[in-house]
Structure 1
Amino acid sequence: YGGGPTGSPYLYDLDDADKLLIGVNDQGELADVPRNRQGRALLGDARNDVHLFISQLHLAFLKFHNAIVDYLRAERVPGAQVFAEAQRLVRWHYQWIVVNEFLPLSVGDDLVSDLLANGLKFYTFVEQPYIPVEFADAAYRFGHSQVRSIYTLNNGGAKGQVFPDFAGTCPVPHDRVIDWAYFFSVDQGRPPQASKLIDTILAHSLSDLPTSVVGETKTAQEHSLAYRDLVRGEALDLPSGEAIAREMGVEPLSTSEVGLYDLGWKSETPLWFYILKEAEVRNRGEWLGEVGGRIVAEVLLGLIDGDPSSYRNAETEWQPVLPGAQPGHFTMTDLFRFAGAV
Structure 2
Amino acid sequence: MPIANSRTESLQQAQFRAVQAITVKPEVLDESNPTRQVLTGLMKHGGVYTLLDTEMMTARLVPMLTRGSGAAAMSAEDASTFVNGLGNTMASFFQHLVPGKAYTIPSSLMSHIAFPGTGVSYSDPGLEQSDPGVFESPEVPAAFTFVGQFIDHDLTMNAVDLFEVQTDEVANTASPLIDLDSVYGANRTKLTAPFSKIFHADGRFRMVDRGGYEDLVRDEVGNALIGDQRNDENQMILQIHLLVMKVHNKLMAGGLGFEEAYRETLFNWQSVLLTDYLPAILEPATLAWLLGEIGKPDFGEFKYKPWKNLVDGKLAASMPHEFAIGFRFGHSQLRFGLRVNPGVGGMVRLFDNSLTSSGGKTSTGAVKNLFSDLRGSQELVAEHVIDWGTFLGGATPLRSNRIDGKVTSVVFDLPESAIPDDIKYIGNLPQRNLIRSRQVGLCAGEDLAKFYGIERLATRKIEPDEAAHHLYMEKGHFRTPLWYYILKEAEAVGGPKSSRLGALGSRLIGEVIVGAIGFAPTNVLAEPGWKSSVTGSREVSLLELAEWVG
TM-score normalized with structure 1 length: 0.87
Residues 109-133 of structure 1, C-alpha deviations (whole Å, 9 max, x = no match): 2111111123443111213012111
Cα distance between partner residues in 2 of 1:30 and 1:83: 23
How many Å apart are 1:154 and its aligned residue?
Answer: 1.0
> Are the aligned partners of 1:255 and 1:261 in contact in 2 as well (CA < 8 Å)?
no
Of the three residues 287, 295, 316, the one matched with 2:508 is: 295
Cα–Cα, structure 1 residues 39 and 29, in superposed 2: closer, same or farther, change >3 Å? farther
| Corresponding residue number in structure 2 for 1:270 | 481
Of the three residues 189, 210, 221, the one matched with 1:38 is: 221
| Corresponding residue number in structure 2 for 1:20 | 205
Check if 1:172 corresponds to 2:365.
no
- Where 2:472 maps in the other structure, the secondary structure is coil
| Corresponding residue number in structure 1 for 2:517 | 304
How many Å apart are 1:338 and its aligned residue?
Answer: 1.4
Residues 183-238 of structure 1, C-alpha deviations (whole Å, 9 max, x = no match): 212x3xx32111111011111111111133336555xxx21111111111111111
Of the three residues 140, 152, 159, the one matched with 2:327 is: 140
> Are the aligned partners of 1:144 and 1:202 in contact in 2 as well (CA < 8 Å)?
yes
Residues 278-329 of structure 1, C-alpha deviations (whole Å, 9 max, x = no match): 0000232511111111111101111111112212223xx13432132x7442
Cα distance between partner residues in 2 of 1:258 and 1:321: 43
How many Å apart are 1:101 and its aligned residue?
Answer: 1.5
Cα distance between partner residues in 1 of 2:515 and 2:500: 20
Letter in 1 for 2:230: R
| Superposed CA RMSD | 1.9
Cα distance between partner residues in 1 of 2:417 and 2:337: 20
Letter in 1 for 2:534: P
TM-score normalized with structure 2 length: 0.55
Cα–Cα, structure 1 residues 261 and 58, in superposed 2: closer, same or farther, change >3 Å? farther
Of the three residues 437, 453, 461, the one matched with 1:233 is: 437
| Corresponding residue number in structure 1 for 2:340 | 153
> Are the aligned partners of 2:332 and 2:404 in contact in 1 as well (CA < 8 Å)?
yes
| Corresponding residue number in structure 2 for 1:88 | 263
Cα–Cα, structure 1 residues 123 and 261, in superposed 2: closer, same or farther, change >3 Å? farther
Which 5+ residue runs of structure 1 have no aligned equivalent?
none
Cα–Cα, structure 1 residues 261 and 245, in superposed 2: closer, same or farther, change >3 Å? farther
Write out aligned runs for 1:183-194 (5 A). 183-185=391-393, 187=394, 190-194=395-399
Letter in 2 for 1:266: Y
Cα distance between partner residues in 2 of 1:216 and 1:6: 31
> Are the aligned partners of 1:96 and 1:320 in contact in 2 as well (CA < 8 Å)?
no
- Where 2:471 maps in the other structure, the secondary structure is coil
- Where 1:35 maps in the other structure, the secondary structure is coil
Check if 1:213 corresponds to 2:400.
no
Letter in 1 for 2:199: Y
| Corresponding residue number in structure 1 for 2:451 | 247
How many Å apart are 1:6 and its aligned residue?
Answer: 1.7
- Where 2:239 maps in the other structure, the secondary structure is helix
> Are the aligned partners of 2:213 and 2:382 in contact in 1 as well (CA < 8 Å)?
no
Residues 228-284 of structure 1, C-alpha deviations (whole Å, 9 max, x = no match): 111111111111111111121111111101116532423200000000000000232
Cα distance between partner residues in 2 of 1:195 and 1:155: 18
| Structure number with bigger Rg | 2
| Corresponding residue number in structure 2 for 1:334 | 544
How many Å apart are 1:62 and its aligned residue?
Answer: 1.1
Cα–Cα, structure 1 residues 124 and 191, in superposed 2: closer, same or farther, change >3 Å? same
Percent of residue pairs bearing the same amino acid type: 29
Cα distance between partner residues in 2 of 1:248 and 1:153: 39
Check if 1:125 corresponds to 2:338.
no
Which has the larger displacement, 269-278 or 247-256? 247-256
> Are the aligned partners of 1:24 and 1:34 in contact in 2 as well (CA < 8 Å)?
no
| Corresponding residue number in structure 2 for 1:283 | 494
Which has the larger displacement, 111-120 or 166-175? 111-120
> Are the aligned partners of 1:129 and 1:302 in contact in 2 as well (CA < 8 Å)?
no
Cα distance between partner residues in 2 of 1:104 and 1:225: 27
Cα–Cα, structure 1 residues 99 and 306, in superposed 2: closer, same or farther, change >3 Å? same
Cα distance between partner residues in 2 of 1:321 and 1:169: 33
> Are the aligned partners of 2:234 and 2:417 in contact in 1 as well (CA < 8 Å)?
no
The number of residue pairs the alignment matches comes to 318
